[in-house]
Amino acid sequence: MIVAVASGKGGTGKTTVAVNLALSIENVQFLDCDVEEPNAHLLLHPKVSRREPVYIPVPVVNEQLCDYCGKCSEFCEYNAIFVSSNKILIFPELCHSCGGCAIVCPKKAISEEQHKIGTLNFGSSGDVELVYGELEVGEPLAVPVIKAVKKQMKPDGNVVLDSPPGTSCPVIETVKGSDYCVLVTEPTPFGLHDLKITVEVLEDMGIPFGVVVNRAGIGDKKVYEYCREKDIPVLLEIPYQRDIAEFYSRGVPFSLEIPEWKEKFRTLFERIKESVGK
C-alpha cells in the first residue's frame, strides 16, 4: 500500500497524522516529500545513516562556438537564458532541465553540467525506515527533489508519503501513483476552503481519498456537512486535546504514549486497505 497524507492548508496536522500512521503499522517506509520544510524527522528522531546530493542538469555555453543567435533564449519558456549581441547569461535557478536549448543550438555550443539543488537523508527510527529530502536554500524547484525521494520507494512494503501543503506541483508529484490519499483538515472555514480545492485535484487525478479531522471540537460543522454532501468518508477524528498537543510540542508522537491511538491508526489503515481492495 502506498498512502499519501496531504492537506490543502498548512498547519492542519498532516505530518502528525502521517507519523502516527507509520508508527502504527508494520513493514513501513516513510518518505517525507515536504522538501522545502521537512519536519517528520523532528517527531521520528531517526539515526541518519547516509546523505546523497540531488542534482539537475543545467546548460553551459561554450562562447567560442556561440554566435549569439538567440535561438536558445527564444526556445526557453522559463527565461533561464538571456542573449545579447555579444554576451549570453544562464540563470540555473530558473532552468527546468528540459535540454531543449542544447537541441535547438545550431552551433552545438551548449552542453550540460550538474547543479546541486538538494539532499536526500536516509535513516531509521525503530522499525520505520525514513527518507527525507531537503531543498537547497534559494532553489525554487522542489519537484526534482521530490522525485528523487520517491525513487527510494521500496516495492515490497507499505509506504507513507508526507506531502507538502497546498495543491501546487509539489503536492501533485507527491500523491501521483498513490493507492490512497488521506486528507487532513480542521473544522474551520480555512480548513474547509482548502479541503475543497484538494478534493477537486484528487478527483481529477482519480486517486481515492478520505478525510481525517484534526482538532475536532473547535470551529463549526461545515467540514462534516461538506463530506456528507460529497460522500467523502471521515476516517478519523483527533480531538482538540491538551495532552496530544503537549506530546507534539515535545516532539513525541502521541500514539506512542496513548496506546489506544495506535489501535485507532491501525484501524484507519485497515479501512483504507478495504476501500481499495488490497
* 224 three-state secondary structure: helix
Given a cut of 80, whether residue 134 has pLDDT beyond it is yes
Q: For the segment 59-98, what is each residue's pLDDT rounded down to a tens digit?
A: 999 999 999 999 999 999 999 999 999 999 999 989 999 9
Burial class (CB in 10 A: 0-12, 13-18, 19+), 237: middle
- What is the number of residues in the chain? 278
Give the model's pLDDT for residue 51: 97
Whether pTM > 0.75 for this model: the answer is yes
| Pairing mode of beta strands 128-135, 28-32 | parallel
Place of cell 525514513: 130
CA distances from 87 to 59, 79, 100, 190 (A): 15, 15, 20, 49
Given a cut of 70, whether residue 164 has pLDDT beyond it is yes
Query: Cell numbers of 130, please?
Result: 525514513
Q: Does domain 55-116 have CATH number 3.40.80.10?
A: no
**Residue extents of the structural domains in the chain:** 2-54+119-276, 55-116
Given a cut of 90, whether residue 251 has pLDDT beyond it is yes
Q: For the segment 19-44, what is each residue's pLDDT rounded down to a tens digit?
A: 999 999 999 999 999 999 999 999 99
Q: Which of 84, 55, 64, 54 is nearest to 72 (CA)?
A: 84
Are the beta carbons of 164 and 174 closer than 8 angstroms? Answer: yes
Buried b / exposed e over 140-167, threshold 16 CB at 10 Å, is ebbbbbbbbbbeeeeeeebbbbbbbbbb
pLDDT (average), residues 145-154: 97
Architecture of domain 2-54+119-276: 3-Layer(aba) Sandwich (3.40)
Q: For the segment 183-234, what is each residue's pLDDT rounded down to a tens digit?
A: 999 999 999 999 999 999 999 999 999 999 999 999 899 999 999 999 999 9
Contacts of 227 (CB under 8 A, 6+ apart): 211, 233, 234
Q: Which of 93, 101, 78 is nearest to 142 (CA)?
A: 93
* 45 three-state secondary structure: coil
Strand partners, 118: 54, 135
Mean confidence (pLDDT) of the chain: 95
Amino acid at 113: E
Query: Cell numbers of 172, please?
Result: 501533485
H/E run at residue 268: helix 259-276
Give the model's pLDDT for residue 278: 61
Give the model's pLDDT for residue 1: 94
pLDDT (average), residues 148-163: 96
Given a cut of 70, whether residue 179 has pLDDT beyond it is yes
The pLDDT > 70 percentage for the chain reads 100
Q: Supply angle C-alpha 259, 243, 180, rounded to 5.
A: 60
